[in-house]
Every structure is written in structure tokens, then in C-alpha cells.
Amino acid sequence: MRKIQIFQHQLQGGFTRLWNDVQGRVSVLILSSTLSSFKLDDFLQVLAIVHKLTLIGEEFCSSDSMELHNSIKTQSSNYFTKYHTKCLDELRIFLENEAWTPCPVKNDFSILHLQEFRSLRHSIRNASRTLSSGASNDDSSVSGGTFYFSADSDTSCPFDQPLHAPPLVEPEDILQDIPDDPSGYYSDDSEDGHSKNTGYDSHIKQTSCLTNTSLSILRLCGKYLQMSKYLKLIASTVIYSLFQLFEYYLYIVYQFFSRDQTSGKIVSVTSLKLQSVLKRIKENLIHSHDSAAPINISDRVALAEISVEVDLRNPDTEFGLTERVVAVESLVFLSSQFQLLHNYLKCLLSDQTNNTLHQFYTQTMSVVTDLRKPVYACVAWKSVDTQQILLMMSRVDWEVSDIIEKHSPYVDYIVQSLQVFIKKVETVRDQSEVQFPSAVITVLWENLITLVVRVLIEGFSCARKCSSGGRALMQLDWVQLSTKLSEMSQLKLPLPLQPLIDSYLKAYYMQESALEEYLRSQFTEYSHRQLESLVLCSLVCQNDKKTRQRLLTQLEEQKSHDR
């Protein structure tokens, strides 16, 4: 019996020596080859062969094939670094030539419809089941087990099996049925050559919002993930680079479509979380010529410049509203497709490298919808003539002795201006090829109301003297206006920033101690001049010069400390 065990051990050792000889020869071949000159599809073919070899080695003699892994890792790292740098630069060029018109994909479009995801569809669909069952995140969990030497195997050689999934019976079919002479370009990979439906209805709105650039990013996702599938050792690097494609698109959309805010000094609608993400992207990804810090330029990409063909100054198109909607909503749609990949990416990455994944999904992805406010504010705020409103408010007599029962003229002016604006927006929406999500109109209204509230507070603070009747008139104006705004926008009360203006108006009646605490707690919500005006006009300070001076001194100290 012992002799049999020794003989079996010797045979097993022979398997290992044989496999080490195989992987050694293949490793030499890989390291001596110039894979950097390969086209991507050819390089993926090499990766697929090496990946299959490692699986064969594991089944043949339980070898981890580290020599083979290390050789392909070295070549792959060099290849991917150059490839990703090229992709980032091409992405910049795409964005500079982007017309920001919707790419006419089918309304049920998904990344799984793309040919680049053909070999990944099964793994992506099964990823959620793999995680929920608690299975390990190895190749067998994601891509299925390997039984190349099983007695039940139908093939005499592992390489008799195809490296990729069999070709689709039908070509990629992601485009809507469109006329024979469509305008614009879509994608060379998407031209399937089949006949178009001449009964296409141009009035049907497109719900899946994609641009040519965002479609290109999704195609790159498929190619990057194919590399990750075969290259577990550099999967974290590939996936991090994949996230960079998304973040660059996000950053450029913000740069292109939110720089022309006309009321930025009065109010900011860019969330702190979005500002933080944009700052991180700029520091880690964007190449700045004026940066003094030493950087590796190959890790960064220059800012794209918006095409001169994209007109964001034409009032007839509401300052490029359709282009802005396509840009932002294509980013939102892109994020939804990245969400589909979340569980699959978890399976690819080890627990030690999951920090990148966690940061991307908890930080970057969470601010995508926040981009709507600063972008759509550039349209909404141009409809409000803030200077005219402030001028009309300055003409109101805030020192009236009697209670006024009718609101001031500036209220009607604001309402009429907003009615005209929304009517124009509806016209642009009806003429657009893409369906505006309800969030577009909602965010436009939120931006309008936010600006109106800030302008009203500014206008109220311009009154250096104000009687009780005048303060009552201010409250009447706001009640009338807020009621009308709620009806027009269909937003429920309280409106955006309503507590801010309510508390400002009520502070006029506060007692000394309450007003003192209010000034201290609200210092960041209002400007110094607005709080100063509140002190000058408040009931408690009108006849008490000492209290007024003390509170004004407190404001000055807070202002100095804030600096």
C-alpha cells in the first residue's frame, strides 16, 4: 500500500513538473512579445487564452500558475496604461464634438444589449445571486466552474471549446426604427445594416437618454470589464480607470452647462457634496496647465471645450434647455447602467480593494442628480430680472402707518414673469425629441423659487426704515406670492427656502434676547447687510439706541471672526 502511495505521489509530482514546464514556456513567449502593438480584440484573445490556461493548471495539478499570472500582469499593466490614456484623450475629443442630441436607442435599452457585454451577460445577471448566497467572489462564482478533464467532458482538448460566447444570431439591435436618412452620427459598431421601418413616428418621445459620448463610455465599460474578468491581479486598476471615464463625463457636463449662472452671487444651488466630488475629480484627474504641483500627465486628461455649434445663449431655445437636459439626463441614465454593474464589480474585487468601489458608489454616484440644480438654474435664473424686482421693491413705502390689504405690484410682476417662462419651457419641451423627465420641471421651479426667495430677502433688507404696517405688508406680499407659486409649480408647502424668509420676517417682532440669539445662529444663512437691516428695523431697536448699537457691534464681531 505504501508503495502505491509513493507511486501516486511521484505521478502527482510529474503533473506539477509538466505544468511548470508548460507555464514557463508560455511565460517566456508572453514576456518576449510586443503586446502593446496588439489591437484590443487581439489582446483580449490573448488574455482569454492565458486565463483558460490558468484554469487548466488549477484543475490539472492544483497549480496557482503564479509565473503565468505575473508574466501577463506585467504585459497587461503596460498595455492597459497606454490604452486607458488613449481612451481618456479620445473621450475628450468626443465631448468637444458632441452635439448633445439624443442618440435614438430603444426605450428598453440596457448595457446588456451591447455586443461588448455579450460574454459578460450571464455573469452580470448572476452576480446578485452569487452575493446573496454568500458564495466566494472567485472566477467560478462569476464565470462558472471548470471541468476540462472530467469524464463527462464532450471535448478531447480544452481549446476545442470556443473562447467567447457564440456570436449572436442577429446583429446588435439597439437603435429605434428610424428613417433612412437619420441626422447625426451614432456609432460604427451599431450600424447593423438591416432595413428601417418607414412607419417611424417622429412624435414618439425617447425615454432612454443617451448621447453618442455616453454610449461610447458604455462600450468602453464592456471592454474594460472583459480585461478585468481575465486579469484578476489588475482588476482594481482597470475598474478604477473605468470609474474615471464616468467621472470625467460628469465633470465636463458640469463645466459645459453650469458656468453661465447669472445669479451666483445671490444664491448657490450646487450642493456641498457635489462640490466635494468635483474638487476631488479636478485634483486627481484633470490636467491643469497652471498647476504648480508635479503630476504624472499620463494619469490626467485636459479639460474639453464645448463645441461652437452648441448655442447656450439663444433665448428662443431657452438658452439651450434641450441640450442641457440631454447632457444631464444622459449622465443620470449612465449612472443607472453603472448601478447594474455594482454587484458584478463586487464579485471581481477582493475585500481589500473594495474601498475604490465604495467611494465611487457612495460619493460620485450619489451626486449625479444634484447636477440638475446648477445646470437648470442657468436657464431658470435668466427668466427672472432680479434688478427690476429690487427696483420695484425699493419703490414700495415700507413706513405705512395703516395695514394694507392689497399686495405690492412687484408680486404681480414676478408671477407674470414666471408664467411666461414656464410657457416657453413647455414649448421647448413639446418640440424636443427627448422626453423631459418630471424632475426637469420640478428642479426648474425649485430654482426659480429659491432665487425669488433670496431676491425678496435682499429687497426687504434694502428698507432702512420699516413700520409695523410695512412689515405686515411684507408678510402679505410673501403669503400671496407663495400661494401663487405653490399653485403654479404644484409643489407642496413649505416651498424651498420658505422657512428662511418666514423667520426673517418674524424676527422683526422678536424681543432683545431672542433677536440676539437669532443673529448669532443665522449668521451663515443671511448676508451681513441683511442682518444689519434687521437690527435697524426691528421693533426692539427702533426706540432703544443702546440695544441697537450693541447688536450691531455683535454683528461686526461675528463678521471679523468669520474672516
C-alpha cell read off for 251: 465633470
Tell me the pLDDT band of 403, cut-offs 50, 70 and 90.
confident
pLDDT of amino acid 162:
59
Outline where 196-299 has alpha helix (H). 212-230, 235-257, 272-284
| DSSP codes, 440-485 | HHHHHHHHHHHHHHHHHHHHHHT-S---HHHHHHHHHHHHHHHHHH
Higher-confidence position of 79 and 352: 79
User: Packing angle between helix 235-257 and helix 321-340, nearest 10 degrees?
Assistant: 160
N-term to C-term CA, the chain: 88
pTM of the complete model: 0.86
Question: What is the chain's mean pLDDT, rounded?
Answer: 85
C-alpha radius of gyration, the chain, whole number? 32
**Which among 53, 30, 32, 55 has a CA at the least distance from the CA of 43?**
30
Classify residue 231 by its DSSP letter: -
The model's confidence at residue 142, banded by pLDDT at 50, 70 and 90, is very low
Q: Is the peptide bond before 494 cis (omega within 30 degrees of 0)?
A: yes
Candidates 45, 139, 110; CA nearest to 344 is: 139
pLDDT in tens, 499-533: 999 999 999 999 999 999 999 999 889 999 999 99
Q: Is the pLDDT of residue 558 over 70?
A: yes
Fold of 384-497: Methane Monooxygenase Hydroxylase; Chain G, domain 1 (1.20.58)
> What are 11-41's pLDDT values in tens digits?
666 788 888 888 899 888 988 888 888 998 8
Neighbours of 207 (CB within 10 A): 16
Give the model confidence (pLDDT) of 122-136 as tens digits: 999 888 776 666 555
Task: State pLDDT tens for residues 77-125.
Answer: 889 999 999 999 999 999 999 999 999 999 889 999 999 999 899 999 8
* CA atoms within 13 Å, Cβ hemisphere of 28: 5
The three-class DSSP label of residue 88 is helix
Mean pLDDT is lowest, of 107-121, 168-182, 258-272, 475-489, for 168-182
pLDDT at residue 203, as a whole number: 47
Torsional sign, CA 469, 473, 474, 476: positive
Percent pLDDT > 70 in the chain is 82
Region 62-66: what's the mean pLDDT? 86
Q: Return the minimum-mean-pLDDT range out of 86-90, 148-152, 377-381, 447-451.
A: 148-152
- pLDDT tens digit sequence for 275-291: 999 999 999 999 876 55
- pLDDT for 426: 94
Task: Compare 3 and 243 and report the one with higher pLDDT.
Answer: 243
Residue 273's CB is within 10 A of a number of other CB atoms, namely 12
Residue-wise pLDDT tens digits, 451-468: 999 999 999 999 988 999
For 371-390, what is the mean pLDDT?
A: 96
Q: Give start-end residues of each CATH 1.20.58 domain in the chain.
A: 384-497
Higher confidence at residue 98 or residue 139? 98
| Partner residues linked to 105 by β-bridges | 175
Q: How much is the average pLDDT of 299-309?
A: 93
Question: What is the rounded distance in angstroms from the CA atom of residue 508 to the CA atom of residue 468?
Answer: 9
